[in-house]
């Protein structure tokens, strides 16, 4: 099976911020798998639980593991709001190996990197509900923000006029059950829907008040 390497920032001033970046990497993995229809890997999504990024020896071990994993991958996809020193090395290594590099960067500070799904009304009628853009595996595709979704649509021949009739729906959180993004539910009475769980939830089921 093809593998996609997720390249995104990890280093941060505090451990709490590092763990936030690790969580973002897991979100990017989910979006990547939805877009490309294959397994995505991001060692920095999990290695912070095992190794200390502020310790030079442990950081070097993590980077070495990532480099070995990258060599097995079919593409590298860049996410996040900046290019860190570790990312620069991964990108350099990918070029050296002839691995295709794709950029899906978005700004994190304004929330534009929240996972986004793209839908359109069935038969053009809002009362009929939305059908969402899916990959070849019949899975709803997650994008790293609205602009990333529009780039994908343009690459696939969708015109600006056609985009005007599409709905770009942002994630409203993370599913407690599986860790994938949550989106507003299309079903009256429910608050959220998770496409990985293939289920709609009341607010209290996701630990929320509304």
Domain of 21: which CATH number? 3.40.50.450
38-77 pLDDT, tens digit per residue, is: 999 999 999 888 988 788 899 889 889 999 999 999 999 9
**Number of domains forming the structure of the chain:** 3
**101-103 sheet: strands from edge to edge:** 39-41, 3-7, 75-78, 101-103
Q: What share of the chain has pLDDT > 70, as a percent?
A: 92
Q: Are residues 155 and 177 in the same domain?
A: no
Across the chain, mean pLDDT equals 84
Q: Are residues 75 and 133 in the same domain?
A: no
Residue 74 forms part of a structural domain: yes
β-strand 199-201 against 192-194: which pairing, if any?
antiparallel
Q: Are residues 64 and 75 in the same domain?
A: yes
SS (H, E, C) 74-126: CEEEECCCCCCHHHHHHHHHHHHHCCCEEECCCCCCCCCCCEEEEEEEHHHCH
Q: Are residues 96 and 127 in the same domain?
A: no
**pLDDT confidence of residue 125:** 63
Name the E strands within 17-66: 39-41
**pLDDT confidence of residue 108:** 39
Q: Are residues 41 and 67 in the same domain?
A: yes
| Contact present, 163 and 156 (Cβ < 8 Å) | no
In terms of residues, how long is the chain?
210
DSSP class per residue in 130-164? EEE-B-TTS-BPPEESHHHHHHHHHHTT--HHHHH
Q: Are residues 21 and 96 in the same domain?
A: yes
What does the pLDDT average to over 17-27? 84
Per-residue pLDDT for 79 more than 80? yes
Q: Are residues 161 and 126 in the same domain?
A: yes
Q: Report how far residue 48's alpha carbon sits from residue 62's, in angstroms, rounded to the nearest whole number.
A: 9
What's the domain range around 156? 113-169
Q: Are residues 99 and 9 in the same domain?
A: yes
β-strand 115-121 against 143-144: which pairing, if any?
antiparallel
Q: Are residues 51 and 99 in the same domain?
A: yes
Q: Which DSSP category does 26 fall into?
A: H
Per-residue pLDDT for 121 more than 90? no
Residue 108 forms part of a structural domain: no
**pTM given for the model:** 0.55
Q: Are residues 146 and 210 in the same domain?
A: no
- 206 Cβ partners below 8 Å, 6+ apart? 173, 175, 176, 182, 191, 192
**pLDDT confidence of residue 42:** 95
For residue 164, the cross-strand partners are: none
Per-residue pLDDT for 179 more than 90? no
3-class SS of residue 206: helix
């Amino acid at each position: 099976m093809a593998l996609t390497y997720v390249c995104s920032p990890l280093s941060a001033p505090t451990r709490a911020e590092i763990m936030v970046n690790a969580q973002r990497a897991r979100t990017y993995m989910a979006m990547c798998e939805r877009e490309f229809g294959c397994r995505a890997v991001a060692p920095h999504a999990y290695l912070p639980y095992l190794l200390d990024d502020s310790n030079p020896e442990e950081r070097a071990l993590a980077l070495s593991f990532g480099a070995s994993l990258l060599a097995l991958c079919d593409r590298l996809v860049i996410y996040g709001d900046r290019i860190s020193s570790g990312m620069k090395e991964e990108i350099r290594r990918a070029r050296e190996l002839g691995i295709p590099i794709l950029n899906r960067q978005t700004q994190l500070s304004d929330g534009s990197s929240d996972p986004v799904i793209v839908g359109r009304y069935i038969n053009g009628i809002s009362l009929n509900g939305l059908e969402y853009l899916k990959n070849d595996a019949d899975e709803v595709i997650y994008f790293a923000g609205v602009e990333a979704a529009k780039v994908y649509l343009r690459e696939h021949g969708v015109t600006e006029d056609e985009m005007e009739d599409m709905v770009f729906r942002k994630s409203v959180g993370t599913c407690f059950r599986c860790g994938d993004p949550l989106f507003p539910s299309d079903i009256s009475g429910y608050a959220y829907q998770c496409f990985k769980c293939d289920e709609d939830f009341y607010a209290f089921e996701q630990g929320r008040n509304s």
